[in-house]
Chain A
């Protein structure tokens, strides 16, 4: 009886894991990430390269308001490097006597600035299609960083018969295929500080790694602690179960 109930449960769970409805987009490619799995960690070198891509390409249009320069310590930057990086970016300064603020060099406590002073300015610049904030992008879509990688690699010429309206671009992985972002990457767009050749797949992989870190800054710590917690709990369970057997040893059951 119990096995039947368990079988029913398994069936139900298996069914609900199937995809919701047929999509016109192909299934996401299988991409390997250093941080996948229960023991995976974020590749800090890749994340630093990804930050370079983000700073030189993406930050021109995208904001990342939940992330601060001091958070870069999580991918291996030293306090001096962070202070230098922050100082190289212009952030909104305090208001002057007329109530206007002008840009000043950033400090580690500052958040990544938005390229536009207000939401209204952003909408005006992009005809309503405001580039989404990147702080949680790696968590905001099914597939996570794989989705980001696929989109960045997914720009194609439209197939015959499909007209792409102005302001849109054809991307095989974007639902509906018409994305408002022009292809941001081309080979050699960035010269990596560590000399890695900057192909589009490489840059896409690195920036997706960086974005995963931005969305999940505690991922490595979380998994490390998790190993300790689960091992401890397994140990306590063993002890408790042995105690239960001892306590119940004098009862027929």
Chain B
């Protein structure tokens, strides 16, 4: 009888060990499934902090009527909470943009750094030379650069060719938004996606057909 009870004990020990293994596997599977469930529940909460549908809708493209903007005049509109500068550049201003005196002052005259869409990758950084469309956020620390379009011997600074002067720390840009050398701002002003619907209406926030570009693509806002 001793041998059968020994056998019985050995049997039950074997069962216990097997049971423990089975319990560990079951425990692992249960915990893993529960972990998957927790992650699946966590995602909606995290996603709820992403922009809501109405916020995204409010950031839809806006149409701007340029018919009232005279040569030399700038208007500012808000798109996606950012100031967009629209300038009617007269012929003298366009000549200055191409002059070697101007180009020699600039940090990135050929717009090598990606701060603009492919259709603004030119000397006037825009679709039409006479219309500048720029994001009015200084690439230094985010202030709104002030518009001083007229060349002047002393205003706002000595020997001013025309362009933008940022009031916060003195960064300077030309009328195509290209940044000067020797100023704190590192990059040219960004160009937003935009498309001319007709001669006098521009849609900010939408590219011309067959172009993909968004402000997320640029190096720095």
Contacts and interface: CB of A to CB of B under 8 A. Distances in A.
Contact of A70 (B29, B30, B33, B53): B53
Given A108-B60, A109-B58, A236-B37, A247 B23 contact: yes
A151 B205 CA distance: 46
Given A235-B33, A236-B34, A70 B27 contact: no
Interface in B3-26: 19, 22-23, 26
Contacts of B27: 243
Given A68-B54, A70-B53, A236-B34, A243 B60 contact: no
B57 interface: yes
Contacts of A233: 37
Nearest to A228: B40
A142 B29 CA distance: 45
A214 B29 CA distance: 42
Most B C-beta atoms less than 10 A away, residue of A233, A243, A247? A243
A243 B33 contact: no
A249 B30 CA distance: 17
A65 to B, nearest CB: 13
A141 interface: no
Interface string A181-221: 00000000000000000000000000000000000000000
Interface string A209-253: 000000000000000000000001101100110110011010000
A108 B57 contact: yes
Contacts of A109: 54, 57-58, 60
A227 to B, nearest CB: 14
Contact of A232 (B23, B26, B30, B37): B37
Interface in B71-125: none
A107 interface: yes
B57 A239 contact: no
- Interface of B, secondary structure class, is helix
Given A70-B57, A249-B19, 5 more contacts: A68-B57, A108-B60, A236-B33, A243-B23, A243-B30
Nearest to B16: A250
Contacts of A232: 37, 40
Interface string B47-67: 000000110011010000000
A240 B33 CA distance: 10
B19 A242 contact: no
A235 B29 CA distance: 11
Given A68-B57, A70-B53, A246 B26 contact: yes
Contacts of B22: 246
Interface string B165-208: 00000000000000000000000000000000000000000000
A241 to B, nearest CB: 10
22 contacts: A70-B57, A107-B60, A108-B57, A108-B60, A109-B54, A109-B57, A109-B58, A109-B60, A232-B37, A232-B40, A235-B33, A236-B33, A236-B34, A239-B29, A240-B30, A240-B34, A242-B26, A243-B23, A243-B26, A246-B19, A246-B23, A249-B19
Contacts of A247: 23
A248 to B, nearest CB: 11
A246 B23 CA distance: 6
B169 to A, nearest CB: 35
Nearest to B40: A232
A53 B26 CA distance: 58
Nearest to B59: A109
Nearest to B30: A239
Contacts of B33: 235-236, 239
A46 to B, nearest CB: 24
A239 B26 contact: yes
Contacts of A107: 60
A108 B19 CA distance: 62
B28 to A, nearest CB: 10
A108 B60 CA distance: 9
A68 B52 CA distance: 14
Contacts of A239: 26, 29-30, 33
Contacts of B23: 243, 246-247
